[in-house]
Amino acid sequence: MAFNFDPYQTVLQVIWAIGWSMIVLAGLVWLPLPIVGLFGRDDRSHNLFDGITAGPLVRGTPPVFVGTLRDCLVSFLHQFNPPIIYR
């Protein structure tokens, strides 16, 4: 198995996510306890947004970006909906 620096590898994405999580957690150590509790509340309430879905971001031939700001935010923050252009 060769070592590869390809950024599209899932392994590197997982390591990247864990690394940024560790940086955020290191900052939480210095915050007051009530503020740290807000982060826990956000984690438990994540499933409340499951009913919100994003519309299509790209449509037509030639491809035209039709996503609204709301669609872009939901796609980025909650639902995996990248603007893929198939040819």
Tens digits of per-residue pLDDT, 1-40? 556 566 566 666 778 888 888 998 898 889 898 888 777 7
Instruction: Band the pLDDT of 86: cuts 50, 70, 90.
Output: low
Residue 62 confidence (pLDDT): 75
Q: Where do runs of H (alpha helix) occur along 4-53? A: 10-28, 33-44
